[in-house]
Structure 1
Amino acid sequence: MTTQLRVLQRSEWDQWYGKLERAFGGVPDSRQERKLFESLTETERSLAAWDGDECVGTAGAFTFQVSVPGGAMVPAAGVTMVSVAATHRRRGILTSMMRRQLDDTRALGEPLAILTASEPAIYGRFGYGTATHQMSVEIDSSRVRIAVPPGAEDVRLRFVTVEEGAAACERVYVRTIGARPGMLARTPGWEGLPLLDPPGEREGASPMQCVLAERDGEVVGYVRFHNKPQWSPAGPEGAVSVRQVDALDPAAYAALWRFLCEIDLTSVVRARNRPVDDPVLHLVSDIRRCNVRLRDSLHVRLVDVGAALEARTYAAPVDVVLDVEDAFCPWNSGRWRLSGDLKGASCERTRDAADLALSVRELGAVYLGGVSLSSLAGAGRVRERREGALAEASVAFGADAVPWLPHGF
């Protein structure tokens, strides 16, 4: 049997999305979630693989901008909804979709492709590197206390409905985007993503609740969360599940975390996706009772090495020749001279001798500043050709704040 790969038609969306649901376990999404993603799907950037009249492969891309070191917002293809039917594995369908996507991304002039991976081992062979991680915490709030800085007592906390607080919460999010690399500028429609609250996914918890943090009448932070009541013979053991928490200053941020850890009848606060350097780690009285864990999050692929490396700034002056290997996108292969500092950068082809040798996958991993070249070199994935070049470049590629993807796509 042969398959045909073509751009998705709007009339085919239901079948296409249904095949995606089957590939991810066969449990249908809620009507709310399905409706949102139907409205967000860019059919002109979505691919379907067909075996006759049966859809056997799916892949899509969203048109995003992602923050990079230095604060610039860089165009990126948000690769998403990738699946291959279990009946059609090992036939090259995934490779053909990845090939077409990256060719199309290059034609659109987007220097980056980004994704979150259901199985992180899949995408390295297509040049994606793990660029950010997310932290989960499970705070034993029956024993842990939150130390708040001066000004926290001036913050007013107020319950509102999720709908009432939506606009104010979105304004806070927009103001925090430039604070870290890896954050997405939400285009119209995406503000609905954090509001999704399908009853079937609450696992016995309450509908989503929202609390605003205000100072002098201005909203300076918010938290959305679920509360799951639970009792044992010893008393209440309720759990708070944090969906999002953002604030514009340390005092408001600490006030929100103190609120979460002091909700009546609860003994644990769980947050699944926080930055690796989240300030909450320094607010808690006992980090050992917070069950901190890490996992991969955003995977980055440089589609245009020169344009991507020029789009960000560098923490220290750097002048280094990179010998880049890129078998899947050979237009990136070869030597590039990167010169840059905190003010900007240039990256051009060169015939000069290489200072460092690495693949495009490693460049994707270090691009946002959360993974060091020295760490990858310690694993044998970056090779130093000129003494001292590794330390120079490793410092330069760093970022002041650890990169973080606040939500998936």
Structure 2
Amino acid sequence: MERFTGEDGGAATTELRVLRRDEWDTWYGSLIRAFGGVAEAPERLALYRELTQVDRSIGVWEGAEPVGSAGAFGFRMTVPGGAEVPAAGVTMVGVAATHRRRGVLTSMMRRQLDDVRSWGEPLAVLTASEPAIYGRFGYAAATFEVNAEIDTDRVRLSVPAGTDDVRVRYTAPEEALDACEAVYARLVPGRPGMLARRPGWERMGVLDPPVEREGASPLQCVLARRDGAVTGYARFRVRPGWNDAGPAGTVELKALAGLDPASEAALWRFLLGVDLTSKLAVRGRPVDEAWQHQVSDLRRCRPSLRDALYVRLVDVGAALAARTYRAPVDVVFEVEDAFCPWNAGRWRLSGDPKGASCERTTDAADLALSVRELGAAYLGGVSLASLGAAGRVRAVRPGALAAASVGFGSDVAPWLPHGF
């Protein structure tokens, strides 16, 4: 527990402390109010209550009233090279409108990052409702995602060899859950940014409160199979629609995963061909997904790019040593980190595709940057060279930026598969 004073320096009337289980409803209620006050479906509310790690959740109270909230799930996230690194999934962050600009958020971010460091987790990650807020705490956009509205009346898909060997069949989402999770688990090591599923999180993917459908069908699921083995799945809803020309429904994709290109293509081909529909709505897909190169007319898919996962290096040395590098790197970073000063100073990173080390050094710096730039580049989806061109990385030694940028890259685009 800690107390802090307001900006006027008067007597403190608020306290910052760890959440107690019996306070969850009030605490979460304050978060709902901070996000506009629209109640969530009881089913979703119950699952979030169960998944909340109370001992990793904090709040600011004014008397018995919570005026700020912040939580941190204990995740393991894939980094370049395939390792699953402990990462605090920052979530449920809100401040009452009556208490803005009084240091409530800053105090929670300060406490939370101190806690994450004490837990031995080198990374903190979040999805930002308002991205401009989190830069001052050292977070930066590290993954991006593609949204699309595919005109299935006009767009056709060219599929790779072997697609016709894959069978796609309907199954109940709950009945297919174990099979889908087995596919997901096999994919996690292969793409930076993916989260190993903690117990209970698999249920989030099949949660289907009627109040959230807004006129669409219940959640549907198909499995892709080859030689009797499950090789992929897709979950979706169908939103019926009609116009003067006939049926004009929309398939709303919720999740798709395939173990190989043929299985992925079979699932996409199925979705583009659902009867009585003319559009496939796609949200939050990887930026390098193959369907973008298989469609007959990408313009009629109306793709758009959006920021997704924000990364914050809590322990620069441990974080940089936890991943591998696409090409050999030997570089000294001069790191600026005002909010977590234990990261500030010079670090020598030596790494290659097999492993890495990152230690304090007194050697001359090759590159100067803040912890935000390291977070942006960490998963390999943002190049250090582009950050340098933006004026956010300064090359002290000629040639150092280009070499480091190649090393930090990833053959596979990082991707966050689901929010938290």
TM bracket (short chain): over 0.9
1:23 maps to which of 31, 34, 50: 34
Q: Does 1:53 align with 2:55?
A: no
Q: Which stretch of structure 1 is more off in the superposition, 393-402 or 148-157?
A: 148-157
Task: Give the aligned residue type for 2:320.
Answer: L
- Matched residue, 2:111: 100
Q: Which stretch of structure 1 is more off in the superposition, 148-157 or 304-313?
A: 148-157
2:148 maps to which of 117, 133, 137: 137
- Matched residue, 2:16: 5
- Matched residue, 1:268: 279
For residues 151-190 of structure 1, the aligned pairs below 5 Å read 151-190=162-201
- Matched residue, 1:280: 291
Query: Secondary structure at the residue paired with 2:174?
Result: helix
- Matched residue, 1:345: 356
Contact 2:317 2:359 in 1 (8 A): yes
- Matched residue, 2:7: none
Q: Name the TM-score, length of structure 2 as normaliser.
A: 0.97
Query: Secondary structure at the residue paired with 1:320?
Result: strand
Q: CA deviation at 1:293?
A: 0.4
Query: Secondary structure at the residue paired with 1:150?
Result: coil
For residues 154-233 of structure 1, the aligned pairs below 5 Å read 154-233=165-244
- Per-residue CA deviation, residues 38-60 of structure 1 (Å, 9 max, x unaligned), is 01000000001101111100000
Q: CA deviation at 1:388?
A: 0.2
- Per-residue CA deviation, residues 53-95 of structure 1 (Å, 9 max, x unaligned), is 1110000000000000000000011000000000000110000
Q: Distance in 2 between matches of 1:146 and 1:198?
A: 33
Q: Distance in 1 between matches of 2:276 and 2:198?
A: 39
Q: CA deviation at 1:198?
A: 2.0
Q: Does 1:329 align with 2:340?
A: yes
Q: Which stretch of structure 1 is more off in the superposition, 152-161 or 56-65?
A: 152-161
Contact 2:41 2:212 in 1 (8 A): no
Query: Secondary structure at the residue paired with 1:149?
Result: coil
Task: Give the aligned residue type for 1:46.
Answer: S
Q: Name the TM-score, length of structure 1 as normaliser.
A: 0.99
Q: Distance in 1 between matches of 2:394 and 2:110?
A: 28
- Matched residue, 1:234: 245
For residues 56-71 of structure 1, the aligned pairs below 5 Å read 56-71=67-82
- Matched residue, 1:114: 125
The CA RMSD over aligned residues, in Å, is 0.7
Q: Distance in 1 between matches of 2:246 and 2:24?
A: 50
Q: Distance in 2 between matches of 1:69 and 1:51?
A: 43
Q: Distance in 1 between matches of 2:405 and 2:66?
A: 45
Q: Does 1:74 align with 2:74?
A: no
- Per-residue CA deviation, residues 331-362 of structure 1 (Å, 9 max, x unaligned), is 00000010110010111111111100000011
Q: Distance in 2 between matches of 1:173 and 1:137?
A: 22
The alignment of Structure 1 onto Structure 2 pairs a total of residues equal to 409
Task: Give the aligned residue type for 1:61.
Answer: A
Q: CA deviation at 1:395?
A: 0.3
Q: Distance in 2 between matches of 1:85 and 1:68?
A: 35
List gaps (5 residues or longer) in structure 2: 1-11
Task: Give the aligned residue type for 2:299.
Answer: R
- Matched residue, 2:270: 259
Q: CA deviation at 1:2?
A: 2.7
Identity %: 67
List gaps (5 residues or longer) in structure 1: none
Query: Secondary structure at the residue paired with 1:49?
Result: strand
Q: Does 1:90 align with 2:101?
A: yes
Q: Distance in 2 between matches of 1:91 and 1:208?
A: 43
Q: Distance in 1 between matches of 2:353 and 2:369?
A: 23
Q: Distance in 1 between matches of 2:376 and 2:207?
A: 30
Q: Distance in 2 between matches of 1:148 and 1:396?
A: 33
Task: Give the aligned residue type for 1:313.
Answer: T
Q: Distance in 2 between matches of 1:373 and 1:44?
A: 36
- Matched residue, 2:386: 375
Q: Does 1:304 align with 2:315?
A: yes
Q: Distance in 2 between matches of 1:202 and 1:376?
A: 41
Q: Distance in 2 between matches of 1:60 and 1:8?
A: 9
Task: Give the aligned residue type for 2:319.
Answer: A
Q: Distance in 2 between matches of 1:401 and 1:69?
A: 9
Query: Secondary structure at the residue paired with 2:202?
Result: helix
